[in-house]
Structure 1
Amino acid sequence: MNIPTGQWRLDVMIMVLYQMALFFSAQLVFVIFLEYMPKTYCNTEKHCYKLTSKCLSDYDRNEPNICLAPNGSKSDFDECVEDKKYLYFKSAQYDYQQDCTSLTHYSASTNMYLGVLFANLVLGILADKLGRRPIYFASISIGVVSLVLSAAIPSLTAFYIFRFTTGVGVAGAQIVGWSYGSEMISAKRRFQLRTFSNWANARILLTFVAFITREWHTASYLCAAISALIFPILWKLPESPVFLEQKHKIEKANEAREQLADFCGLEYEEKEPAAINNLKKITFMDMWRNKRLRTNFLVLCFMWFYVGMATYITDLNGADMSKNLYVGQFLSGILLTISKIAFGFAEPRFEWLGRRTVFLFSQGVAMIAYVTILISLFTDSKESTWYLIVYLCAYSFQALSTETCYLSVAELIPTDVRVTVAAITNICLRLGTILASLTKPLKFSFEPGLFLINLVVCSIGITVVYFYLEESRNVNLQNVGQDEVSDSGDSQTMIESDKTAGSGESGATEAAETSGTAGTTEIEAESGEGESNSKLG
């Protein structure tokens, strides 16, 4: 069977690789299962009660048994006991009861978010200096091994230590994995890298793993096994030629491009050394001194912080959006997948559907949903079906706004500092998620406060984005910041020049001069049917 040649081969492989990376990153929401506790419980004496916290022992023994009903039969009582003590998932919280110890203010979620935060401090700098691929490989290796050990060693201390180091792999998948993927995939499919390969797919698969295992040890092992599929894919791929050319490693860049051309079944045309040597090195301070680049950087930092905070406040407190734990988690993933794929299909067809439009629309819908959730909480309508629907919309559209965050980092930040800035923005995201994890006590004391917080931060955020975020659709990644740094006093509009350079990326030989992707470009038609003499350079 002859597989058609073309750039699409590499694009598909990059999408699969990134999807696997996102699945590993979904350990960030696996804490929902790790910290899960039922609403009710029955002790060994069949005394059933409603939990007022995550501690099994936290109940008033003088309170009446909730399964004792006037004129109730023994069979009714036994049936009630079975229902009230049923566990949808046996969690680490159920086993260790860590929230009932001195760790009550240092949850498993906070612990892992700090691990990701710590890794972000070093991985971005290392990836910009040593390369995307080796740091990607090393961080995922640490993460997968740590995930296995966190479940294999029966100790609360070991659990916390290795869940912390699992965060190294999550950080690598998120910042290095995204930068590597966005540099390797063709420009016209860069948006699809975040829509077809998406967080929602990872969440659905993670929920399915939890559903079939029903306990956290086995679920952790299976997650590690699936995540290990990253290694053979990454092993077959070379270092990002965009990174190598920016470092003026011309020979290695040509070798990488030739390897990618061979994989795509295209002929290879070596790029002119002059085209590569003309690329200027841009340091973080160069970026900071330029007003436009500095503004882009600060806007992105704020976006990542507040979007992370609002998304995780919604997510971490949504386990009870439906009576069945899995129904809510599956539905939230499915709705988010549908919305992302819909935008993925629409984006190439509508020029007006840029990064700003997607962000402002999704954020606006999420804010309307937060208002509706507040109304339902104040009117005691939480158990209704429409509450589930609105909560799903709140989460899905809030999470959809993260697509602009990721794409804007890739498209508004120069190659030399792209992963470093991605690490900094991820640190902002982690600070937001850590704050989100600290709001969990409001769930039991004043639940509407959670969504009032979201409304306030989202109102500020959507205003900042409306006035200050630049549109970056179709920019050439290699050209980002080049004109700005050379003419920082009175620069031409960076985005306009980048769009002009990036518009020709769909051609094969044109990429030898302007490609902002890995340099694998296509002559074949959009259908993927390549000509036998297609060239790649």
Structure 2
Amino acid sequence: MAIINGLIGDFGKYHLWLCFIIFPNKLGAAFHQMSIIFLAPPPVYYCPNNKSCCDEPVYDKSQYKRTIVMEWNLICGNAWLKDLTQMAFQFGVLSGSLLFGIASDKYGRRPALIVSIVLEVFSGIVTSFLPDFWSFTIVRMFLGASVGGVMVVGFVIVMEYVGKCRDMVAAAYHVPFTVGYMLLALFGYYIRDYVILQLSISLVNIVLLVYICILPESPRWLLAKQKTTAAIQLLEHVAKINNKPVDEIALKVELYQLEHIRQKRGSFIDLFRTPNLRKNILVMSFTWLVCSYCFYGVTYYISHLAGDVYVNVIASGTVIFMSCFIAMPLIKFMKRRTLLVMSHVLSGFCLLTIAVMPVGRISVGFGCLGLLFTQMVFIISYLYCSEMFPTVVHNAAVGICSMMARLGSMLAPFVADFGEFGEWCPPVAFGIMPIIAAALGLLLPETKDCQLMLTIEEGEAFGRNQSSRRTENNASIGIT
């Protein structure tokens, strides 16, 4: 709906204010997504009679006073349970992304995000006081669902307001997450008890309850749902703040609603009916899976690789933070496919290098570089996926890719613990996947400066005759 940005501008004072209130919710998302690093760090313990496993181990509490591993003896035969709790959390993120995405389409972006925030605060606090592993894991799964809703719906709201500079705003949207990841190291450093840590990172999010009073609805959603009067009032309010004329907003919106022909929506099945679209969605789905698999797995792995865990987290967080700003100019000037394949190859090379060198600062450095390129793949994938598929199946395509990303994050903790089979196992298991994804990425069409598609027919033909489709066009991206 280009009419909206024609009336309120592409990026003005109101857009800046909206980013200011929406972006901080990514801090809480990072706290909960990455908190497993300090909730369940590798334990140091010994058993009576020099046994390797026992029912009542004595834990070394010089670094951590209490973790979920110590609390419920998640060692030896039960060690897999600490990975299960993170897998359940990521399954919650997957479910929340889908359910709150559907709810935001049906009931509105504003109520969906508010419910997500309320659930995040409530479930986060409750998780802090649960007495046993299974209740902790189940409630934390609901916490994951709220995090999925917060990330997805918040992104949707911002993208549905912003105009031509969406690619830059989309890249900037990842910045608060990396800041939250680095701040988590400070929480973990000063709070060595998992109960207090979980409670602290949950209470921080209470400030987001202000959304109940100040969060606006999406004008695009209002127009799509034929709530024309409410849309006009909102657009006039935004236009005034952005110093845009408001006199003809009502007339233009009403004429648009009368003239607009509703495009028939496609479904996820349409993505698999024809060979070209099927190839594109399968390759992109694998790309998203590899991104999430490497990002969450490697962050957990290198945080405990060598040296001080807090320094490692801040170092890797700083590198990921830098990747957001490195990606911005590259997205503007480089081709999508070239940037995607290059980032995958460099990520895989860095991770595989860890396997052949001794554990130490250099291996941590290569791990951080691997994360930098993995994060760049994440950023370009959001944009690339949205340009590659026609409007009628855009949401379905992003939804499928998002599901695959969550599947990757569910597998990651188990792979990160492959170190018990050999120090080389985790970096090899992580490093091979980006190389495979890079090879498959060569099969994708180039989308930079190409006109966005509307129909399934255009999507199926896309990539076969790109030379006839080149045009100056600003990318439009969104996620539901």
TM-score bracket relative to the smaller structure? 0.7 to 0.9
| Distance in 2 (alpha carbons) for counterparts of 1:195 and 1:481 | 25
Alignment CA distance shift 1:368-1:491 (3 Å)? closer
Once the two structures are superposed, the pairs formed by residues 74-85 of structure 1 within 5 Å of their partners are 85=61
Alignment CA distance shift 1:217-1:401 (3 Å)? same
| Distance in 1 (alpha carbons) for counterparts of 2:54 and 2:446 | 44
Counterpart in the other structure of 2:443: 467
- The C-alpha deviation readout for 1:17-37, integer Å capped at 9, x for no partner, is 443232222212111111113
Which of 363, 372, 375 aligns to 2:356? It is: 375
| Distance in 1 (alpha carbons) for counterparts of 2:65 and 2:393 | 43
- The C-alpha deviation readout for 1:183-202, integer Å capped at 9, x for no partner, is 22233143233236423112
Which of 215, 218, 230 aligns to 1:252? It is: 230
Aligned to 1:266, what secondary structure does the other structure show? coil
Once the two structures are superposed, the pairs formed by residues 526-537 of structure 1 within 5 Å of their partners are none
In structure 2, stretches of 5+ residues that fail to align are: 1-8
Amino acid at match of 2:294: A
Amino acid at match of 1:371: L
Counterpart in the other structure of 1:525: none
Segment drifting more, 289-298 vs 444-453:
289-298
Aligned to 2:216, what secondary structure does the other structure show? coil
The yes-or-no answer on 1:126 pairing with 2:113 is: no
Which of 281, 301, 316 aligns to 1:332? It is: 316
Counterpart in the other structure of 1:19: 23
Once the two structures are superposed, the pairs formed by residues 200-349 of structure 1 within 5 Å of their partners are 200-233=178-211, 235-268=213-246, 269-270=248-249, 271-276=252-257, 277-284=260-267, 287-288=270-271, 294-344=278-328, 346-347=329-330
Aligned to 1:117, what secondary structure does the other structure show? helix
The yes-or-no answer on 1:97 pairing with 2:101 is: no
Counterpart in the other structure of 1:534: none
Which of 341, 347, 350 aligns to 1:360? It is: 341
The yes-or-no answer on 1:30 pairing with 2:20 is: no
Percent identity of paired positions between Structure 1 and Structure 2 = 20
Once the two structures are superposed, the pairs formed by residues 116-155 of structure 1 within 5 Å of their partners are 116-155=93-132
Aligned to 2:356, what secondary structure does the other structure show? helix
Alignment CA distance shift 1:243-1:293 (3 Å)? farther
Whether the aligned pair in 1 keeps the contact of 2:341 and 2:439 (CA below 8 Å) is no
- The C-alpha deviation readout for 1:105-141, integer Å capped at 9, x for no partner, is 4632112112223334423333333332222221222
Counterpart in the other structure of 1:172: 149
Whether the aligned pair in 1 keeps the contact of 2:389 and 2:453 (CA below 8 Å) is yes
Alignment CA distance shift 1:293-1:494 (3 Å)? farther
Alignment CA distance shift 1:410-1:208 (3 Å)? farther
TM-superposed deviation, 1:386: 1.5
Aligned to 2:42, what secondary structure does the other structure show? coil
TM-score w.r.t. the length of structure 2 is 0.82
Whether the aligned pair in 2 keeps the contact of 1:179 and 1:410 (CA below 8 Å) is no
TM-superposed deviation, 1:149: 0.2
Once the two structures are superposed, the pairs formed by residues 414-429 of structure 1 within 5 Å of their partners are 418-429=394-405
Alignment CA distance shift 1:498-1:127 (3 Å)? farther
TM-superposed deviation, 1:86: 1.8
Aligned to 1:447, what secondary structure does the other structure show? coil
Aligned to 1:317, what secondary structure does the other structure show? helix
Whether the aligned pair in 2 keeps the contact of 1:125 and 1:420 (CA below 8 Å) is no
The yes-or-no answer on 1:434 pairing with 2:410 is: yes
Amino acid at match of 1:460: I
Segment drifting more, 335-344 vs 277-286:
277-286
| Distance in 2 (alpha carbons) for counterparts of 1:172 and 1:261 | 28
| Distance in 1 (alpha carbons) for counterparts of 2:449 and 2:213 | 30
Counterpart in the other structure of 1:511: none
Alignment CA distance shift 1:423-1:412 (3 Å)? same
| Distance in 1 (alpha carbons) for counterparts of 2:392 and 2:199 | 37
Counterpart in the other structure of 1:57: 57
Whether the aligned pair in 2 keeps the contact of 1:442 and 1:450 (CA below 8 Å) is yes
Which of 403, 425, 432 aligns to 2:379? It is: 403
Counterpart in the other structure of 2:139: 162
Supply the RMSD in Å over aligned alpha carbons: 3.6
Counterpart in the other structure of 2:159: 182
Amino acid at match of 1:459: I
Q: How many residues align?
A: 460
| Distance in 1 (alpha carbons) for counterparts of 2:79 and 2:324 | 37
TM-score w.r.t. the length of structure 1 is 0.74
Alignment CA distance shift 1:315-1:470 (3 Å)? same
Counterpart in the other structure of 1:7: 11
TM-superposed deviation, 1:462: 0.9
Higher helix share: 2
